[in-house]
Structure 1
Amino acid sequence: MCGVAGYLGYVADGAALLAAMAGAIAHRGPDSEGIDIFPQAGLAHRRLAIVDLGNGQQPMASENGRFVISFNGEIFNHVELRRDLEAQGHRFRTSADTEVILHLFERYGERCLSLLNGDFAFAIWDSLRERMFLARDRMGVRPLFYTRHRGAVYFASEVKSLLKVPGLQAMLDIKALDQILTLWAPIAPRTAFQNIFELEPATYAVIDRNGMTTTPYWELEFPDHGDYLGVAAEEELEDLLMDAVRLRLRADVQVGCYLSGGLDSSVIAAIASRLDTQPLRTFAIGFESREHDESYFQSIMVDHLQTRHVQTLMTSGDIAADFPDVVRHMERPVIRSAPAPLYALARLVRSNGIKAVLTGEGADEIFAGYDLFKEARVRRFCARQPGSRFRPLLFRKLYPYLPNLRRQTPEYLSAFFMAGSANIGDPLFSHRPRFRSTSSTKMFFSRDVKNALGGYDAAEEIVSLLPSDFRRWHPLNQAQYLETRFLLPGYILSSQGDRMAMAHGIEGRFPFLDHRLVEFAARLHPEQKLKGLDEKHVLRAVAGKLLPKEISERRKQPYRAPDTEAFVGETKHEFVDAALGADSVRRSGIFDPVTVEKLHRKCAAGAPSGFRDNAAFVAILSTQLWQETFAAGSPSRAVA
């Protein structure tokens, strides 16, 4: 994992600019820096040394000097690819995976992307054709942003690097904010910044004197009804998982593992402990709040695997203290405080001398682990059986870890979960309750923002981007596509993933997001993933061979962190009062100061708050912090 930056076009002092751009992302690659300048182009690199520690410096040139690469990420099958290339006559100077990409690109051009098993974002300068080639991995693990400014194209691993370009101003994109407050994330290529874009996952771009073109090279596809894998799925899953973990343990430094106490990270840790020759290093978050804490289950796995375990205990005050830095690294507003503990966890890992960790992200998306998938199934049942006496029981079965739900009346439960359920043919049927609940924050928008947005509907933009055969898929597969295509790269792998880990120079590795596993899971029969209301059915069968029953049969507890209570209460946080104060809100121009003040008073008084109040509070606070961090001094930019 590293940081990349570069440009194509006329730049007055390219070396100075690239030094500034690289400096802005030094946290991504604290081990070394490299810069190369070409006619009308340049590349910069910040290195986090994990493979070939002594010889993997970048930018790296091909043997004949035609191609030069700046690469962020890991190619996990680089050993096998190198072997094939050597058999074809290619010679290598290093053992770095970076050089493997160069040789592959030299031989196959953009077709090399289909051969890569890895997480990557890279740029390759072709001096012969005078063009820049950019590419990003299939799932969107590694970020890459770009902008066009004064006749040149600039790109980098993070937006803060692009903001070093002279004259480029940070302006909030209010449609992106509307998307975040509906979908939890912007819809790529849009970002929170006007005129700054994200290269989409599974996409490559070519930049030359004629402009910039983007082309997708992979798409997540689900089979039509009936065209599913057979009974050998469990064995194939076990083999694929073993190999995915084996490949991701490759490194010239020790690889650790996050251990939440849930099924997904426990499976990865169990396999890693079998394959690794060293005692496994594991790391976890504990919470002062019992409602959020999973320390008991972590201890079961630590005892089972005999790992060298370290935990950081988070208080609400810790979350608040880190939150301004969290927003700076995320570079976007959010509706939850959940990234903050992961920021602290990465800091803990780094302080223990580890540079790379395996994590369990991706399993909930590809094996249908989220409550949303079960909720959609219940809503479909209730829409077809409107008089069923099982409706309240089914709603409560969905969320046994939320005791407040037991106190709700059947009428309330039906109103909350069943809104919009009459139209079961709606392509967004599974996600409508979430979108509706989250988007309630938009009631706090200022009049100017509401007028500027007009009738814009972020959810309908999603509909326009769906594949042509989407409606032929099983409803569960439709829901999985929405989650995997939009929320996974837009929030889980970015705000909670890459940004929090790389803030401290930590590389996250995700075995469940090996593209072979993703494609395998897409071909499974829906009942092998969600059997009744039991999530991740086939994964649990494999987990039963690896884990104690208390873990393998444990019902999923979603990762959550204290939200509003982290920022209000006995401990006062000056930045919260400043950001939500009437003058600050009025100056930013995004929200209505009167309604924001009412929400702030309500939360500060300790009044009971549900998801909507929590989401609104965190969203408004993070947006205000974003504005102060990136666009301070220009209130009109918010509604430009």
Structure 2
Amino acid sequence: MCGFVTLYNKNQVPVSKDVLKKMTDIIVHRGPDDEGTYVDGHIGLGFRRLSILDIQNGAQPLGNSEKGIWLVFNGEIYNHLELKDWLTKKGHKFHTNSDTEVIVRLYEEVGSECPKYLRGMFGFVIWDKRRNILFAARDPFGVKPVYYCETSNGFIVGSEIKAFFGLSNIEREVDTRSFYHYLTFQYVPEPATMFRSIRKLKAGHCMTITNDTVHIKPYFNVRFNPEETKPFADLVEEARAVLTESVRLHRSCDVPRGAFLSGGIDSSCLVALLRQQEAIKTFSIGFNIPGYSELDDARHTARYLGTEHYEVCVNAKEYLNFLPKLVWHQDEPVADPSAVGIYFVSKLASQHVKVVFSGEGADEFFGGYNIYKEPYSLRGFMYLPEWARKMAAYLAYIMPSGMKGKSFLERGSQPLEERFFGNAKIFTEHTKKKVLSEHFFKTDIHEPSHQTIAHLYDEARYYDEVTKMQYIDIHTWLRGNILMKADKMSMANSLELRVPFVDTKVFDFASTIPTKYKVTPATTKYLLREAMKDILPPEVQIRKKLGFPVPIRVWLREEWYGWARELIHTAQVEQWINKSAALHMLEKHKEGKIDASRQLWTLLIFMLWHQIYIEGAYSDSLPASTLAKAAASV
């Protein structure tokens, strides 16, 4: 697990090694164990290493024997031994035991088709000197980030946005459309970022840069193929087998490993499968408010499975003190309160291990979110005439915010394509108008946020509603929120986080599960629960999903109220946000008249991010390298 930066000067101006070093120093947290640079005239590769596999020989940038192909790579390839055996039979000679060299040899063999062969999490860049090609790829589901930017002089590709600001000519300008959609999703959907000039390489895509041309194409597509006639017992057996194999492969490393453990089934089943293969350390987090901690449940599961268990409890002051640093680590505003929870449990784990397992992806692949039961609860609306659905929509519109039944009528009167945007829908198109400034509406014309995912619904048009929701989440929520916060918060602590559920072979199996075995009116992840019931405590089977619940609703009314009010007053965001409306929302929340915690948090995280990245207000409290500037440009 590492971090990299690549510079490509299209004017053939030589890249400076000093510039590369300054940029990679900014992301030292991604790789504190080693560093390296490679410069070939107008091409520069910079690298920071977190040593996990083949510690003695896995340094990067790594070149092939002829030194015509060079690679920087962030991630892990779990089928590297299988690929190494195949490539050896093809005549390739290996000089290390690293998965990094496997990618180099694979590229020698199959060229730009190489990502299709890889089973793992990855973001990488290859400089093919022979063909004058810079080639980049990101793993199928977006576990690892890859960002890129085109400047007047060339291109930058890297693991984190903040490294780009080691150059003096990179704009720090808010993307208007990204901000508008952020208010809906609580993150910026790919391929955009909150910075106008910087983009994300989409998951499952590769990118080729030749001279002044950038070409991006997919190499992986998500497809569901339910096998309706397969016996349930066979599916249960296959689920156990594919997850056991994924956990076995994900164990590959030369350093100590452990696992996050909450009170739910996702992390519990990974720990149980790991425990069958080795002794394991587990790590949990809780908060010091009743109802917002899974520590008791996690502790019980740890005892049942026989793990060496550690835990941390965080209070409001600790959370808030770390928040500016954590927003800096995120690069973009991601308004998921649980991100900070992942930071603290990662910090705990990093004191004991270097690799940790986590349960991300189980909900999207196996049907775990409670909202996936909504098609069952809203089924009655399908039989209403059009006029009745319009009446329901009108009633929902005039009902006061927070009134019982408002959300039910609102959602039931809308088609799925207009009500489900993935697992977050913070502000509606109507409520956005209340919190956006007048100046904002004088800028660009903004399409409704549901139109940004219309193409996904078109791709999923032949699926049932539950599967459509999974398809949307895999392309939005999983990539933009779940995996992004997991990567950034773990790497902030120089900890490699592995996600055995987010695996192509696991998805290949999960895609065959009929909807009736994923989600029922009574439960979610039905098949997964059945497959794991013999190795888990019985209560885990019925426990409601919580994840890392964070008491922001309580803290914004109490300990954080003064901070929130001050931030709204001081952040220089008047061109984006109606501050009077934000303050009014905060007061109503404090008084207990509404629960606006998620909306407030979305606004507050953007304001804090704006202060850090646009205003530079937190320069003294963040790593000095955040302000590093290089005189030379790409």
The answer to whether TM tops 0.5 is yes
Query: Which residue is 2:388 aligned to?
Result: none
Superposed displacement of residue 89, structure 1: 1.9
2:366 corresponding residue in structure 1: 367
Quote the residue 1:622 is aligned against.
605
3-state secondary structure, aligned to 2:283? strand
Distance 1:566 1:442, change over 3 A: farther
Q: 1:422 Cα deviation (Å)?
A: 3.5
- Return the match for 2:271 from 269, 276, 281: 269
Q: Is the 8 A contact 2:423 2:477 kept in 1?
A: no
Map 1:316-465 → 2, pairs under 5 A: 316-352=316-352, 354-384=353-383, 412-424=403-415, 426-431=416-421, 435=425, 437=427, 440-441=431-432, 443-465=434-456
* Native 8 Å contact 2:36 2:46 kept in 1: yes
Q: Which residue of 1 aligns with 2:312?
A: 312
Deviations 1:288-329 (A, max 9, x none): 112111112111211111111110101122221221112111
- 1:2 aligned to 2:5? no
Residue 417 of structure 1 and its aligned partner are, at CA, apart by: 1.9
Structure 2 residue corresponding to 1:253, chosen from 233, 249, 255? 255
- C-alpha deviation, 1:625, in angstroms: 1.0
Question: Any idea what the Cα deviations from partners look like across 1:575-595, whole Å, max 9, x if unmatched?
Answer: x444211xx345552211222
Find the residue that maps to 1:616 and give its secondary structure.
Answer: helix
**Aligned position for 1:590:** 576
The aligned amino acid for 1:579 is: L
Q: Which residue of 1 aligns with 2:290?
A: 290
Partner of 1:569: 558
What one-letter code is carried by the residue in structure 1 that aligns with 2:523? Answer: D
Deviation at 1:186, TM superposition (A): 1.6
Q: Deviations over 1:315-355 (max 9, x none)?
A: 12222122111211112223332211111111111123x11
The aligned counterpart of 1:471 is 461
Kept in 2: contact 1:350–1:505 (CA 8 A): yes
Indicate which of 166, 186, 194 corresponds to 2:168.
166
Bigger shift: residues 243-252 or 177-186: 177-186
Contact preservation (8 Å) 2:7, 2:15: no
Hey, what does 2:220 align to over in structure 1?
A: 218
1:508 maps onto 2:497 in alignment: yes
Distance 1:152 1:588, change over 3 A: farther
Output the CA distance in 2 between the equivalents of 1:335 and 1:77.
35
2:514 maps to 1:531: no
In structure 2, C-alpha distance between the alignment counterparts of 1:621 and 1:46, rounded to whole Å: 32
Number of the residue aligned with 2:396: none
Distance 1:105 1:573, change over 3 A: farther
The corresponding residue for 1:553 is 542
Mapped contact 1:585–1:591 kept (Cα < 8 A): no
Do 2:417 and 2:450's aligned partners in 1 also have CA atoms closer than 8 Å? no
Give the whole-Å Cα distance in 2 for the aligned partners of 1:561 and 1:11.
50
The aligned amino acid for 1:510 is V
Q: Which moved more, 1:511-520 or 1:427-436?
A: 427-436
**1 CA distance for matches of 2:605 and 2:36?**
34
Percent identity reads: 28
Q: Distance in 1 between matches of 2:526 and 2:154?
A: 51
CA 1:465–1:535 in structure 2 vs 1: closer, same or farther (change >3 Å)?
Answer: closer
Distance 2:236 2:292 in 1: 32
Name the aligned partner's letter for residue 50 of structure 1.
I
Offset at residue 133 of structure 1 (A) = 0.4
Report the Cα offset of residue 254 of structure 1: 1.4
Mean alpha-carbon deviation: is it higher for 564-573 or for 318-327? 564-573
Partner of 2:132: 130
Structure-1 residue corresponding to 2:395:
none
The residue that corresponds to 2:60 in the other structure is: 58
CA contact (8 A) 2:293 2:549 kept: no
- Structure 2, unmatched stretches of 5+, are 386-398, 618-634
Distance change in 2, residues 1:486/1:571 (3 Å):
closer
Q: Secondary structure at the match of 2:259?
A: strand
Q: After TM superposition, give the deviation of residue 567 of structure 1 in Å.
A: 4.6
Judged with a 3 Å threshold, the aligned counterparts in structure 2 of structure 1 residues 474 and 631 are, in CA distance, closer, same or farther, namely same
Q: CA 1:303–1:106 in structure 2 vs 1: closer, same or farther (change >3 Å)?
A: same
Is residue 2:464 matched to residue 1:497?
no
Cα distance, 1:571–1:158 mapped onto 2, change above 3 Å = closer
Match of 2:389 in 1: none
1:81-160 aligned at under 5 Å gives the runs 81-160=83-162
Judge conservation of contact 2:83–2:102 (CA < 8 Å) in 1.
yes
- 2:529 aligned residue: 540
- In the TM superposition, 1:153-232 aligns within 5 A as 153-223=155-225, 229-231=230-232, 232=234
**Structure 1 gap ranges (5+):** 387-407, 635-640
User: Per-residue deviation at 1:633?
Assistant: 6.9
Alpha-carbon separation, structure 1, partners of 2:244 and 2:418:
34
> Is residue 592 of structure 2 the alignment partner of residue 607 of structure 1?
yes
Partner letter of residue 589 of structure 1? Q
CA distance in 2, matches of 1:587, 1:101: 45
Q: Which amino acid aligns with 1:203?
A: H
Letter aligned with residue 51 of structure 2:
A
User: What displacement does 1:617 show?
Assistant: 1.4
- The CA distance in 2 between the partners of 1:158 and 1:570, in whole Å, is 32
User: Aligned partners of 1:23, 1:588: CA distance in 2, in Å?
Assistant: 34
Contact 2:422 2:477 in 1 (8 A): no
Describe the shift of the 1:228–1:344 C-alpha distance in structure 2 as closer, same or farther (beyond 3 A): farther
8 Å Cα contact 1:335/1:616 also seen in 2: no
TM-score of the superposition, structure 2-length normalised?
A: 0.90
* TM-score for both structures, normalised by structure 1: 0.89
How many Å separate the matches in 1 of 2:284 and 2:210?
46
The alpha carbon displacement at 1:624 in A equals: 1.1
Aligned residues of 1:6 and 1:43 also touching (Cα < 8 A): yes
Q: CA contact under 8 A between 1:444 and 1:595: conserved in structure 2?
A: yes
Q: Secondary structure at the match of 1:284?
A: strand
Give the Å deviation of 1:217.
0.3
Output the amino acid matched with 1:380: R
Q: 1:236 aligns with which of 221, 238, 245?
A: 238
How large is the Cα RMSD of the aligned pairs?
2.3
Structure 2 Cα separation of the partners of residues 171 and 152 of structure 1: 19
Q: Which residue of 1 aligns with 2:40?
A: 38
Q: Aligned partners of 2:510 and 2:109: how far apart in 1?
A: 32
- Superposed displacement of residue 381, structure 1: 3.8
User: Aligned pair in 2 of structure 1 residues 587, 553: CA closer, same or farther (>3 Å)?
Assistant: closer
